[in-house]
Amino acid sequence: MACCICLLSTAILRITHDSQTVQFIMAEGKAAGPRSHCGRLGALGLRCPNKHNLLFFYAPAQGVVSFAGLAVNSANPRILQKLFPKKDLTSTLLACSTIGTGLYLYNRPHMQSAPTQFRLSYSVYGALLFNFGSLLLFAVAKSYLPENTNLATLVGLASCYSLVKVGTSYLDHIDSQLQKE
């Protein structure tokens, strides 16, 4: 996933408005072709990769994946230790989750009218509060659970899902109030 994001972020996008085609000019100078692949991506629930979608769709999606990994790692650290025995990925997962959350908050409709410096500070604040608060919740929940790694993993994933679902529902509600005004 990270390799995909790095590959896409290193691509240079050229959008021509007259023919509505998108071409990727990679480092080797090869073009990927017209926008026809975007229709196939839409059928899968994905978006055509451009700068905006990379920042405000794919990075937050990768942040959710990192948040789920952080929840599992907090609840049952042995899982990631088995997959990556020489690396502690907690900081990486936390950073990716925080960046994804921050970009998601920054692009919400209710933030559009705020000046850039306030949008940035509100997004950083919200992302840090959400991720570090969740990390604290994961640690407290783990201390109350019995020594059952499967149960801990399930509780970690369930709490991750719940926190993301409640958070997005809350932001959708705020955005809907903006539309009523």
74 and 135 both lie in a single domain: yes
CA angle 125, 128, 129 (to 5 degrees): 80
Q: What was the pLDDT predicted at 118?
A: 97
pLDDT tens per residue across span 70-86: 999 999 999 988 988 88
pLDDT at 26: 28
Check residue 54 and give its pLDDT: 86
Residues 58 and 100 reside in one and the same domain = yes
| Dihedral (Cα; 94, 98, 100, 105), 10-degree rounding | 160
Mean pLDDT, to the nearest integer, of 48-65? Answer: 91
| Boundary residue ending a domain (33, 49, 65) | 49
130: closest CA among 56, 53, 59, 63? 63
The pLDDT assigned to 164 comes to 97
* Domain identity same for 159 and 109: yes
pLDDT surpasses 70 at 150: yes
The band of 180, judged by pLDDT with boundaries at 50, 70 and 90, is confident
- Same domain for 42 and 55, yes or no, is no
Enclosing domain of residue 3: 1-49
Please determine, for residue 87, whether its predicted confidence score (pLDDT) is greater than 90: no
Q: Is the pLDDT of residue 123 over 80?
A: yes
74 and 131 part of one domain: yes
Residues 135 and 160 in one domain: yes
- Examine the fold and report which residue of 29, 49, 69 is the final residue of a domain before the chain moves on: 49
Q: Is the confidence at residue 181, as pLDDT, over 90?
A: no
Number of domains in the chain: 2
Same domain membership, residue 78 and residue 18: no
34 shares a domain with 56: no
Can you tell me the mean pLDDT for 81-108?
93
Q: Please check whether residues 59 and 145 belong to one and the same domain.
A: yes
Which range is least confidently modeled, 16-30, 61-75, 157-171? 16-30
Task: Decide: 161 and 154 in contact? Cβ < 8 Å.
Answer: no
* Mean pLDDT computed over 153-162: 96
For residue 71, count CB atoms less than 10 angstroms from its CB and return exposed for 0-12, middle for 13-18, buried for 19 or more.
Answer: buried
